[in-house]
């Protein structure tokens, strides 16, 4: 009891003695300090120096101010650094549980692949004196020595091999290995494979995909060749697989066949399928060429091209400028020079023919079907003449070459007995003669015979006798029966019956020059007429078809002298036929309208104007509208009352087939443009102009012609050039057809036709 009382009294004394302004040791706000060296409390105004715990560095100077600690100087306690722990060769370390090399930090060492830890301890810890332990050591992994069987030769470190060392093997005595050619020391100290052995050279048949081995064997001996074939869509790898000591000389393999389009080239508009570049064998790609280009070999603007079994395209998938070849086989004089330059589509060239040939036209034009006309040069010669009362002594022909001679013999009772005629340079027959009846051999009116007919004596009129012809024949005179004059009991000449499908003389048409009226043309024979001065024949060639000339030609009046254009000079004029003329404006003037004009229906088609390049008053501009040619056009208003000149214009009338986006309103002087679709020909003004409330100019898109197998097959015809199954031609293009095999042209419609605004007559073969 006394002890307790004393303790209470002591505590009270202590509390009394300790002031409220003292600072307690446990109230110091800093960590890692060595508190055990400090007193329990300090009075106000005391200054205390505080040290750090073990493994830490720093020193604090604290002041006690009315029960609160205040830092007067020094630095706080932090872990002591140890520096870098050190690298080990062929190994790495990792810092565990900390981010810096400071007191207490721990690093663990590991060896790299192919190396093992030789040290007992693989860690180091940062102590007050630095890192403990020594840096661990990593030693390389080693494999056991190699023992080689008989005939096996090993090269490499066979006695003391370490990780990643390689041992190579080969056989002696021309033997082959039965295992790998080489082995290597692995990271666990073992070899990657057992040591191989040597045996006689042999090969096993390989696994062959997409192919078949020919004369398959289970084992192939040294130098034996493996024969194999691949599927149709695959090809064999280059080289011959032969069994050698190291196995097959090449691995037999069937590689898939591909054809490549390669990079895009100029002239190709697109391909189908789009974006695909590699094609397997038997696959095809459609190549569509741009305008004025075609496929280089097949001469088509588009087409499907197949990848062949050998990995090559059946024709190059490339587009080139549409053009014509040099006509070496057309008997053109010096074709390399005449046709060596520009041979693109639409180009025209003047040319001359070799000796013995003449031009079929004045100019040659390059078209989709080649050079037209076709042929360019026609062999000169003379058509077989018709000479009455004769028979040829040589085999008759339809046409004879220059300087070729034909011998004739007059029939009995006619003279001379024999004669010969020769085709001269002007395609006329020299020494032409006729067989006349000999004196004393006149034919009596009432009794004589002639070929393919019989006579009728007219009792009522003894001065005339009539004759009729057998079936399939007709008199040379017009009508179904013929007449001959009978004088003094004899006829003046022998009657003549010709085949019913023959034509007698050329047709008589207005303004044509006189022609032979008694000349007989066989069925299918061609003829031509010449017109009087100021006229030209159309068409130039006509044909005898079953006794009638088709098509019946006309002599069209030519236009005469071309119109005079103010402030223009004439660059070219066709002085023979007066059918076209080309103008050029003088300096300071601009051409309005086409620079080349053509003669059509005895009138010049248009007349261009040369206007001053200096802007003029639009109120004085002339109306340059041209007459409508039976097509959809936009024309200027004929009278001011129809559209008051308010300045602005409404939307122009639509142009048939044109690509147009006309506005609802145009200001004075504003132009409205239009374009024609592909293969259409723009034949009007390039644009329409609003002038004081009226539209000036006209627009027209002339349609192309389309001919395909559905049109040609029923008529037994095909295109003369190429084997195209479908053809597009622009207005004005000439297309030549030919008969299919075993068919003959009926002659009603010529084989050469022209496209006229979407319309083209087609010939027929029977």
Please write the tens of the pLDDT for every residue from 373-383.
999 999 999 98
Provide mean pLDDT across the span 534-563: 79
Q: Which tens digits make up the pLDDT trace of 246-286?
A: 889 998 999 888 898 878 778 888 999 988 889 988 889 99
Binning pLDDT at 50, 70 and 90, where does residue 428 land?
Answer: confident
Give the model's pLDDT for residue 196.
92
Q: What is the pLDDT of residue 427?
A: 85
Instruction: Tell me what the mean pLDDT of segment 438-467 comes to.
Output: 66
Question: Is residue 471 exposed (0-12), middle (13-18) or buried (19+ Cβ within 10 Å)?
Answer: exposed
Least confident of 6-20, 373-387, 602-616: 6-20
Distances (CA, A) of 357 to 325, 330, 331, 354: 20, 10, 7, 6
Mean pLDDT, the chain, integer: 81
Between CA 447 and CA 440 the distance in angstroms is 16
pLDDT band at 633, cuts 50/70/90? very low
Locate the DSSP E strands across 539-696: 542-545, 548-550, 554-557, 568-573, 580-585, 589-592, 596-600, 603-604, 609-612, 649-650, 659-660, 665-666, 671-675, 681-682, 687-691, 694-696
Q: Is residue 245 within 8 Å of 201, Cβ to Cβ?
A: yes
Please tell me the distance from the alpha carbon of residue 138 to that of residue 395, in angstroms, as a whole number. 113
Q: Count how many Cα atoms sit within 13 Å of the Cα of residue 532 in the half-sphere of its side chain.
A: 7
138, pLDDT greater than 90: yes
Position 623 pLDDT exceeds 50: no
- Tell me what pLDDT residue 101 has: 92
In the block, tokens 């040589």 appear at 394
For 499-510, the pLDDT digits (tens) are: 888 888 888 888
User: Does residue 617 have a pLDDT over 80?
Assistant: no
Confidence of residue 338 (pLDDT cuts 50, 70, 90): confident
* Alpha-carbon gap, residue 243 to 250, rounded angstroms: 9
Q: Residues 174-223: pLDDT tens digits?
A: 888 888 999 999 999 999 999 999 988 889 899 999 899 998 988 998 88
**Residue 538 reports pLDDT greater than 50:** yes
Least confident segment among 53-67, 568-582, 615-629: 615-629
**Cα separation of 15 and 2, whole Å?**
20
Do 235 and 254 contact (CB within 8 A), yes or no?
yes
The greatest distance separating any two alpha carbons of the chain, rounded to the nearest whole angstrom, comes to: 206
Give φ, ψ of 620 to 5 degrees.
-100, 5
With beta carbons less than 8 A apart as the criterion, state whether 689 and 697 touch.
yes
pLDDT at position 628 is 33
- Dihedral Cα 333, 336, 338, 342, nearest 10 deg: 160
Q: Return d(Cα 522, Cα 546) in angstroms, integer.
A: 9
Residue 136 CB neighbour total at 10 angstroms: 21
Query: CA 39 to CA 301: how far, in whole Å?
Result: 109
Report the half-sphere exposure of 410 (CA within 13 A, side-chain side). Answer: 15
Tokens 């019913």, located at residue: 500
Going by pLDDT thresholds of 50, 70 and 90, the confidence category of residue 573 is low
CB 472 within 8 A of CB 500: yes
Name the pLDDT band for 646 (thresholds 50, 70, 90): low
Please state, in angstroms and rounded to a whole number, the distance separating the CA atoms of residues 337 and 707.
35
Band of residue 27 on the pLDDT scale cut at 50, 70, 90: confident
**Tokens standing for residue 497:** 């019956």
288: confidence class by pLDDT, cuts 50, 70, 90:
very high
Cβ 581 vs Cβ 573: under 8 Å: yes
Sign of CA dihedral 641, 644, 645, 651: negative
**Has residue 619 got a pLDDT over 60?**
no
CB 289 within 8 A of CB 281: no
pLDDT value at residue 190: 94
Evaluate if pTM is beyond 0.95.
no
The larger pLDDT score, comparing residue 635 to residue 163, is at 163
**What pLDDT sits at residue 295?**
87
Helix (H) or strand (E) holding 243: strand 243-244
């Amino acid at each position: 009891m006394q002890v307790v009382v004393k303790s209470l009294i002591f505590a009270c004394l202590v509390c009394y003695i300790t002031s409220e302004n003292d600072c307690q040791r446990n109230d110091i706000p800093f960590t890692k300090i060595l508190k055990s060296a400090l007193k329990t409390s300090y009075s106000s105004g005391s200054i205390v120096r505080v040290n750090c715990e073990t493994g830490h560095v720093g020193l604090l100077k604290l002041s006690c101010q009315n029960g609160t600690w205040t830092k007067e100087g020094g630095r706080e306690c932090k872990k002591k650094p140890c520096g870098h722990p050190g690298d080990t060769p062929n190994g790495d370390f990792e810092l565990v549980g900390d981010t810096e090399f400071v007191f207490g930090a721990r690093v663990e060492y590991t060896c790299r692949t192919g190396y093992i830890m030789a040290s007992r301890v693989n860690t180091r810890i940062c102590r007050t004196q630095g890192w403990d332990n020594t840096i661990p050591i990593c030693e390389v992994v080693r494999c056991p020595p190699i023992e080689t069987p008989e005939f096996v030769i090993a090269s490499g470190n066979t006695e003391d091999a370490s990780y990643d060392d390689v041992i190579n093997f080969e056989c002696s005595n021309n033997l082959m290995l039965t295992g790998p050619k080489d082995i290597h020391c692995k990271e666990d100290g073992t070899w990657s494979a057992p040591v191989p052995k040597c045996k006689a050279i042999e090969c096993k048949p390989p696994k062959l995909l997409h192919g078949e081995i020919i004369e398959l064997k289970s084992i192939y001996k040294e130098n034996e060749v493996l024969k194999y074939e691949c599927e149709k869509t695959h090809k064999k790898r280059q080289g011959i697989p032969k069994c050698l000591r190291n196995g097959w000389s090449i691995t037999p393999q069937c590689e898939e066949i591909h054809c490549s389009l390669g990079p895009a080239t100029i002239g190709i508009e697109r391909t189908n399928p789009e974006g695909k570049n590699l094609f397997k064998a038997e696959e095809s790609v459609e190549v569509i060429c741009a305008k004025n280009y075609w496929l280089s070999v097949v001469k088509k603007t588009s087409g499907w091209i197949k990848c062949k079994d050998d990995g090559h395209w059946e024709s190059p998938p490339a587009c080139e400028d549409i053009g014509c070849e040099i006509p070496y086989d057309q008997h053109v004089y010096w074709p390399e020079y005449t046709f060596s330059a520009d041979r693109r589509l639409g180009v025209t060239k003047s040319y001359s023919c070799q000796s013995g040939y003449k031009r079929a036209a004045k100019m040659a034009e390059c078209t989709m079907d080649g050079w037209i006309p076709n042929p360019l040069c026609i062999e000169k010669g003379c058509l077989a003449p018709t000479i009455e009362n004769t028979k040829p002594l040589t085999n008759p022909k339809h046409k004879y070459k220059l300087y070729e001679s034909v011998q004739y013999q007059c029939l009995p009772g006619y003279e001379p007995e024999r004669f010969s005629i020769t085709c001269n340079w002007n395609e006329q027959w020299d020494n032409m003669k006729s067989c006349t009846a000999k004196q004393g051999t006149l034919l009596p009116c009432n009794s004589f015979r002639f070929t393919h007919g019989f006579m009728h004596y007219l009792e009522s009129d003894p001065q005339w006798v009539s004759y009729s012809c057998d079936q399939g024949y007709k008199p040379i005179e017009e009508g179904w029966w013929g007449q001959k004059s009978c004088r003094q009991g004899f006829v003046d000449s022998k009657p003549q019956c010709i085949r019913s499908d023959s034509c007698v003389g050329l047709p008589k048409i207005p303004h044509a020059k006189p022609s032979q009226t008694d000349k007989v043309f066989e069925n299918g024979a061609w003829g031509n007429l010449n017109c009087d001065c100021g006229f030209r024949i159309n068409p130039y060639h006509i044909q005898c078809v079953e006794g009638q000339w088709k098509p019946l030609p006309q002599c069209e009046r030519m236009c005469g002298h071309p119109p005079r254009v103010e402030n223009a000079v004439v660059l070219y004029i066709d002085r023979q036929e007066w059918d076209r003329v080309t103008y050029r404006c003088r300096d300071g003037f601009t051409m309005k309208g086409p620079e080349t004009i053509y003669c059509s229906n005895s009138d010049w088609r248009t007349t261009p104007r040369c206007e001053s390049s200096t802007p003029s008053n639009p109120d004085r501009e002339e109306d340059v509208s041209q007459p409508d040619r039976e097509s959809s056009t936009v024309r200027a208003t004929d009278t001011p009352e129809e559209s008051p000149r308010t300045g602005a214009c409404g939307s122009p009338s639509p142009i048939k087939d044109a690509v147009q986006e006309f506005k609802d309103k145009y200001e004075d002087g504003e132009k409205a443009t239009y374009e024609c679709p592909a293969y259409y020909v723009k034949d009007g003004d390039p644009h329409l102009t609003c002038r004081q409330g009226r539209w000036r100019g006209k627009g027209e898109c002339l349609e192309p012609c389309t001919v395909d197998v559905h049109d040609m097959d029923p008529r037994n015809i095909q295109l003369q050039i190429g084997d195209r199954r479908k053809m597009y031609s622009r207005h004005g293009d000439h297309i030549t057809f030919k008969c299919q095999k075993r068919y003959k042209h009926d002659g009603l419609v010529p084989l050469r036709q022209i496209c006229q605004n979407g319309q083209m007559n087609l010939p027929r073969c029977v």
